[in-house]
Structure 1
Amino acid sequence: MTKSSLPQSQNSTQDTPGKEQKSRQLDFLAKDTLIALTIRIFGLILTYVVQVCLARWMGKTEYGIYEYVISWSMLLGIPAALGLPRTVLRLLSEYRVKEDWGHLRGLVRGSWLLTLLVGVLLSLGAAGVIWVLNSFHNFTYATSLLVGMALVPLQALTLLQLETTRAMGDIALAYTPSQIIWPLWVLCGGFLLFDANHSLNSLPMIEVATLLLSGILLFQLWLLWEKINREIEPVTPVYSYQQWLGIAGVLLLQQSFGVILNRTDILMVGSIIGPSEAGIYNASLKTSIWVSFTLQVVNMVVAPLFSSLYAQKDMQGLQKVVSRVTLWIFWPSIVLALGLIVFSKPVLSIFGSGFTAASWSLKILIVGRLVSALCGSVANLMVMTGHQNKSVIVVGCTVLLNIVSNAIAIPMFGIIGAAITTSLTVIVSNVWYSILVVKYVGVRPSVFYSLFSLFNSELAKKS
């Protein structure tokens, strides 16, 4: 054996395990993406079935009260969680790579207790406000709203446990309880109440939903701790609340901006033009989201891997994963976008004959969603690699751009103006994120780079 052949042999034996490990990572990623896709599809179908059945059993007034209360509990659950869910998702992956088991156990336990405490305090505060308002001006659904405030800490814990379990690498356990089991049990509970009383009111339905979610969360928490105790060394928890809350505060601000951004156009259309136009525009807005369906599914799975690879400083592996998932996002998004553009009127007619007026709005909104797919999972990359402070500036600026542009465009062009503004905002934010990812993360997320790399790889194989 020559001196020159020895290093080659060593390199080949070192490279092979690395390649095999990256191949396994992509295989696991593909498997988890398939699981997430299945859960997401069944969850959407089940949620639709629950909405239809409850509306028929309860009637539009009682069902409206039920949905109103559930919506408020979900909205208040976001500040109650303090931004900790996304913080846990990012840091747990990092702690696992560094084998920092003390901080890992401390973060899981500390974030859960803190979320529960803040959730209970916020729900009590909200209940107090409702009670005071009702004493001055009596409204019929005050009791239902008061009872529904018990859901606030549960909604916050739902978000936290989902992201904690996701960071621990169990996609099925993360999403199945909240997206499959809870809606299914709510449907069964509603049916039993309706069958027993031949009617269904919002108050008992809210009580049933609260009780069921409590049981599901406790069961998920038990399974989560069983998983942690199996996989993580039993060490004394270490708590770093100052660091955790510093990150969480920025992520909560970013999430709040995101909620505002997603609601601004529909609220301003309703305020400036009227509720009828808002309903028509909402149909196009909801339909356009299907173009982002694959992006949402992939984001469900890939975020912890981004954090792990970046913590390992494996930039080559990170680039490979980013390029692969960008292609996974792109092709289905193209197919869905073209299908919705071609069949925009038939699809919108499902909502009713008057909704076909939103055909051009739908096409414009699809352009923005498609650009988002072209850019890939850029927002996730910024947060999962510790650059959340820079990403919150992007969201804040695009919220301001969205509000100002809508205020100008909606009075001039109606719902088409709202669609143009929303698409423009989506494009600006995603291009901005892409530039920041290249500059600060050090990978190229766009589909053009991914396609170019794939083309070069195929040429290399043939040569």
Structure 2
Amino acid sequence: MTQTSLSGNSDSFNFSALVKDVKVVLILKLTGLLLVYLVKVFLARWMGKTEYGIYEYVISWSLLLAIPAGLGFPSTVLRLISEYRVKQDWARLGGIIRGSLLLTILASIFLCLVSTALILLLDHYYSFAYTKPLLIGIWLVPLQALVQLFLETARGMKDFTLAYAPSLVISPILLLSGGLFFLQRNHALRSITTIEMAMVMLAIALSFQLWLLWGKLNREVEQTTPIYNYQEWIRIALVLLLQAGFTEILNQTDIVMVGSVIGAEDAGIYSAAVKTAQWVAFALQTVNIVVAPAFTTLYLQGDRQELQKLVFKVTVWIFWFSLAVGTILIIFAQPVMGLFGSDFVAAHWQLKILVLGRVVDSLCGSVGTLLIMTGYQNKMVFITGYAALINIILNAVLIPIFGSIGAAIATSLTIAMWNVWVGLVVIKNLGIYPSVFYGFLGRKGNRALDSSPGNNSSN
């Protein structure tokens, strides 16, 4: 593990250390993304578009429901662990780790029981087609919630390898190996079998991660009686839960609505285009993982000049990578989608439209992370909530008219609108110019800071 750019014992910012951290996360994310992509390609080929579509439909629901099951604690844990490490408040640090784990498990089980009852009720009155896969797949929700909790806990402990390797590397390898085993044994791979296999493999990866995480906690944290400050934690978590929920709605609405309005086959094909377009956002997601604490540190220190320089640098990094990947995907859209199978080539236009939306995302830089990490999470929740509502409306209008192409248009328009809106709020409240266009101005952009309207208030 590299020396972190923001250590637990210092508020100083080290740009060279941040670059090293980015490289570590880049390797992990790239490896994980390649593995996840290979898993999707092979599963699509082994299962066929119908069975694969059912599998993706269930996975999308499990990811969506994992957000409320987590109660907002993943983001809360990341923020508070970093704070408690700086203050050396080991009692509350131990409390937040144990308390968040307990509450997440209890909330997940409760949500699964309620969801099971609703699925059975729906099937009783309407003979729901996806009843059996959903009844099994709903129990992925606790595992998906724990994935995010363990990931953010490890990030808070400054261990990026422990944060990402289990879910992005170990779990996909196990799933791919299991899929190959069942394919050779049964000469077919059904959606229900794959869902059950995904549950087992994810549980194995999470158990390994928890074992390592607990060992790290015992080594690095002074052993003391935990303090459980549930009232404060829940107050923080509720706001961040809303933000996470709205974000996940933005990420999953198009796939879920394509599956509900058109059918599982189209959902599976469209999902492949969505996952492929996410390659464009790879640099943005990777940089945000490492740079988020730096935004907080520089903002609290009142060093707006250094914060603007950091924003310039990371935005330019993000833009060039995203532009290169986006150009390649647009030019080679058909052969890339053909990797999933001949039936998936038809989604090449969906891929092109989604890529354009992701390129706009890169133009605006880390606006969302910048707003949240500087204390404007309430404004962020407001914007993301409206964007989620607009996204649902656009999908509801465009999917019946244009099919899955309408879903791609709705999603890309929403991404563009969200980025512009958040970017304007960043400029107004922070006086920081996040767009890549300001980054290209270089020193001119820095001189603009002297007359910018930013302030240090938080909401």
In the superposition, the TM-score normalised over structure 1's length comes to 0.78
Gaps of at least 5 residues in structure 2 are 1-9, 447-459
Gaps of at least 5 residues in structure 1 are 1-20, 458-463
1:305 aligns with 2:294: yes
- CA contact 1:254–1:396 (8 Å) conserved in 2: yes
Q: Distance in 2 between matches of 1:143 and 1:251?
A: 33
Q: Distance in 2 between matches of 1:435 and 1:224?
A: 39
Alignment correspondent of 1:434: 423
Q: Distance in 2 between matches of 1:347 and 1:261?
A: 24
| Residue type at the aligned position of 1:157 | L
Alignment correspondent of 1:171: 160
- CA contact 2:53–2:268 (8 Å) conserved in 1: no
Alignment correspondent of 1:47: 36
Q: Structure 1 residues 67 and 426 mapped into 2: Cα distance closer, same or farther (>3 Å)?
A: closer
Q: Structure 1 residues 437 and 101 mapped into 2: Cα distance closer, same or farther (>3 Å)?
A: farther
Q: Distance in 2 between matches of 1:265 and 1:284?
A: 11
Q: Distance in 2 between matches of 1:69 and 1:36?
A: 29
| Residue type at the aligned position of 2:242 | L
1:446 aligns with 2:435: yes
Q: Distance in 2 between matches of 1:414 and 1:119?
A: 34
Q: Structure 1 residues 306 and 229 mapped into 2: Cα distance closer, same or farther (>3 Å)?
A: farther
Q: Structure 1 residues 454 and 277 mapped into 2: Cα distance closer, same or farther (>3 Å)?
A: farther
1:399 aligns with 2:415: no
In the superposition, the TM-score normalised over structure 2's length comes to 0.79
Q: Distance in 2 between matches of 1:417 and 1:62?
A: 23
1:328 aligns with 2:317: yes
Question: How far does residue 231 in structure 1 lie from its aligned partner after superposition?
Answer: 2.8
Alignment correspondent of 1:180: 169
Q: Structure 1 residues 24 and 246 mapped into 2: Cα distance closer, same or farther (>3 Å)?
A: closer
Alignment correspondent of 2:110: 121
1:150-169 equivalences under 5 Å are 150-169=139-158
1:212-232 Cα offsets, whole Å, 9 max, x none, are: 322322221222222233333
Alignment correspondent of 1:15: none
Residue 225 of structure 2 aligns to a residue whose secondary structure is coil
Residue 150 of structure 1 aligns to a residue whose secondary structure is helix
- CA contact 1:83–1:249 (8 Å) conserved in 2: yes
Q: Distance in 1 between matches of 2:202 and 2:122?
A: 28
The worse-fitting range, judged by mean Cα deviation, of 101-110 and 177-186 is: 101-110
Residue 386 of structure 1 aligns to a residue whose secondary structure is coil
Alignment correspondent of 1:16: none
Q: Structure 1 residues 225 and 432 mapped into 2: Cα distance closer, same or farther (>3 Å)?
A: same
1:81-115 Cα offsets, whole Å, 9 max, x none, are: 11211122223223333333333222112111110
1:217 aligns with 2:217: no
The worse-fitting range, judged by mean Cα deviation, of 348-357 and 301-310 is: 348-357
1:84 aligns with 2:73: yes
Q: Structure 1 residues 345 and 126 mapped into 2: Cα distance closer, same or farther (>3 Å)?
A: closer
- CA contact 1:93–1:307 (8 Å) conserved in 2: no
Q: RMSD of aligned C-alpha atoms? A: 3.9
1:105 aligns with 2:90: no
Q: Structure 1 residues 125 and 35 mapped into 2: Cα distance closer, same or farther (>3 Å)?
A: same
Q: Structure 1 residues 196 and 407 mapped into 2: Cα distance closer, same or farther (>3 Å)?
A: closer
Question: How far does residue 384 in structure 1 lie from its aligned partner after superposition?
Answer: 2.2
Q: Structure 1 residues 56 and 24 mapped into 2: Cα distance closer, same or farther (>3 Å)?
A: same
Percent identity between the two aligned chains = 53
1:170-228 Cα offsets, whole Å, 9 max, x none, are: 11111110111012122233444455566655555544433332232222122222223
Q: Distance in 1 between matches of 2:272 and 2:193?
A: 31
- CA contact 1:50–1:183 (8 Å) conserved in 2: yes
- 1:26 aligns with one of 4, 11, 15: 15
